[in-house]
């Protein structure tokens, strides 16, 4: 017959585990997480359990099972590798009306330990007729579906409130964080940037309000003040609002302004960091922003105005003197002025440069140049935003990697 499933609340209750092998090694941490007071009876234990014992997480009695060990327990786990011993443990527990799980015999066991997983406040437990491998496979599939939003959780009575600033990553929809994907699946309203992972928006239910907050360079855009107003207005009406951004909300994403606006309006805000394109896009092109013996530092610079502009707060002279990697955002249309400034202030005109357009997307393309040639090469190739510019010797590291992969050892 099918088992009757319960969620045991074990906080402060004694649980007896007999046997200190791999089965106990898996089950004891879960029991401790549930708040149980665990007593382990076993002549020996695995190193992982020994580490927990040294930390004072539970009590270990280094001996074989004895009659009377079940006294005072609410639950017993018989995990030895001796069938006769497990049978004796189960018999004593049965006589004392204590639920006992036998690790060696599902048919003789009074209870089964399900394969379980947790996503936020949702706990998934699967028994699969006592087949642990099948149960684990089903558990994994359900947990993954909850994490990536495939299984919707928008109707939960404990759904999030207010506004969530979610960093969507550099463009590839697979690079959004698990937490970001979860909150997106629970949204009533999504306010999306132009550089947010657009493929994820196609997965939203039809009743989700989608607001396009794109800021197109030298084109149409939604003013930041209006975006702030929309976030506050929808949240005040009881909707859970996700502000979906490209990269990370706090790396040239104006996330700080939105948090301040919501805080001033009394709206709770959750910030979910994202993978910034400043690091991810060079990596996607095979270029590390730091490399032992080459670069011990990297600088991320917004080039929304050229170096000689009165609104620029960037110390280009210091950057030119630095030996670190420069990662330039929004620099493509001002690349000539940037290259000239760096050379003028001391960087070699032969410094390697890589420009990566549409990083992490199927349309990604990259070109290599130097500070002396990058402007001409960008214009000839028709490179357009969004693109990341990497300046420094690490570009050579990426080129070396590609040569090795191609079988052309430098």
188 is a catalytic site residue: no
What pLDDT, on the 0 to 100 scale, is given for residue 317? 95
Nearest by Cα to 168 from 199, 211, 202, 206: 199
**Element at 133 (helix H, strand E):** helix 132-148
245 is a catalytic site residue: no
Give the SS3 label for residue 49: helix
Which of 82, 96, 148, 215 is the catalytic position?
215
Please state, in angstroms and rounded to a whole number, the distance separating the CA atoms of residues 276 and 246. 8
> What percent of the chain is modeled with pLDDT above 70?
95
Residue whose structure tokens are 């896009």: 281
Please give the DSSP secondary-structure letter assigned to residue 111.
Answer: B
Cα separation values, 241 from 189, 198, 210, 244, 262, Å: 5, 17, 10, 9, 12
Q: List beta partners, residue 245.
A: 167
Cα separation values, 366 from 78, 300, 354, Å: 60, 19, 7
Longest dimension (CA), the chain: 88
The average pLDDT across 308-333 equals 94
What pLDDT, on the 0 to 100 scale, is given for residue 409? 58
Backbone dihedral region for residue 344 (phi beyond 0: left; psi -120 to 50: alpha; all else: beta) = alpha
Please say if the pLDDT value at position 33 is more than 80: yes
Cβ contact 282:327 at 8 Å: yes
Q: How confident is the model at residue 189 (pLDDT cuts 50, 70, 90)?
A: very high
Please say if the pLDDT value at position 215 is more than 70: no
Q: Which two tokens stand for residue 232?
A: 């506050």
Which of 193, 245, 248, 358 is the catalytic position?
193
Residue 405: φ, ψ to 5°: -60, -35
Nearest by Cα to 6 from 72, 70, 74: 74
Write b or e for each residue in 113-143: b if 16 or more Cβ atoms lie within 10 A of its Cβ, otherwise e. Answer: bbbbbebeeeebbbbbeeebeebbebbeebb
The average pLDDT across 343-369 equals 95
Nearest by Cα to 358 from 381, 325, 334, 380: 381
Cβ contact 240:147 at 8 Å: no
The average pLDDT across 21-45 equals 94
Window from 73-82, 85-94, 106-115, 321-330 with minimum mean pLDDT: 106-115
Q: Which two tokens stand for residue 268?
A: 């709770």
What pLDDT, on the 0 to 100 scale, is given for residue 166? 96
Cβ contact 50:40 at 8 Å: no
Cβ contact 31:15 at 8 Å: yes
Q: What is the pLDDT of residues 141-159, one digit of tens each?
A: 888 887 766 666 555 556 7
């Amino acid at each position: 017959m099918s088992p009757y499933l319960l969620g045991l609340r074990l906080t402060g209750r004694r649980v007896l585990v007999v046997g200190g092998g791999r089965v106990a090694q898996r089950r004891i941490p879960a029991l401790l997480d549930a708040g149980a007071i665990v007593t382990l009876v076993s002549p020996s234990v695995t190193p992982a359990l020994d580490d927990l014992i040294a930390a004072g997480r539970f009590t270990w009695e280094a001996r074989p099972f004895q009659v009377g060990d079940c006294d005072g327990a609410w639950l017993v786990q018989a995990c030895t590798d001796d069938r006769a011993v497990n049978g004796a443990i189960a018999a004593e527990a049965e006589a004392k009306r204590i639920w006992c799980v036998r690790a060696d015999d599902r048919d003789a066991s009074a209870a089964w330990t399900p394969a379980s997983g947790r996503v936020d406040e949702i706990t998934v437990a699967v028994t699969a007729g006592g087949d642990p491998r099948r149960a684990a496979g089903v558990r994994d599939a359900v947990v993954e579906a909850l994490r990536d939003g495939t299984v919707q959780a928008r109707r939960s009575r404990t759904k999030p409130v207010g506004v969530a600033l979610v960093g969507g990553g550099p463009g590839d929809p697979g690079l959004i964080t698990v937490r970001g994907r979860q909150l997106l699946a629970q949204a009533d309203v999504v306010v999306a940037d132009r550089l947010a992972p657009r493929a994820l928006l196609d997965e939203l239910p039809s009743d989700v309000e989608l607001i396009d907050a794109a800021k197109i360079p030298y084109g149409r855009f939604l003013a930041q003040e209006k975006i702030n107003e929309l976030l506050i207005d929808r949240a005040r009406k009881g909707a859970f609002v996700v502000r979906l951004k490209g990269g990370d909300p706090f790396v040239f994403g104006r996330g700080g302004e939105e948090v301040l606006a919501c805080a001033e309006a009394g709206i709770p805000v959750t910030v979910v960091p994202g993978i910034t394109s400043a690091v991810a896009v060079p990596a996607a092109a095979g270029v590390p922003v730091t490399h032992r013996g080459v670069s011990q530092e990297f600088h991320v610079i917004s080039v929304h105005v050229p170096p000689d502009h009165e609104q620029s707060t960037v110390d280009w002279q210091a950057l030119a003197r630095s030996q670190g990697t420069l990662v330039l955002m929004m620099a493509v249309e001002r690349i000539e002025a940037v290259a000239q400034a760096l050379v003028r202030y001391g960087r070699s005109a032969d410094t390697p440069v890589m420009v990566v357009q549409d990083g992490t997307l199927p349309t990604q393309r990259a070109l290599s140049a130097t500070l002396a040639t990058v402007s001409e090469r960008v214009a000839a190739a028709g490179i357009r935003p969004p693109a990341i510019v990497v300046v420094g010797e690490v570009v050579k590291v990426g080129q070396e990697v590609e040569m090795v992969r191609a079988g052309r050892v430098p």
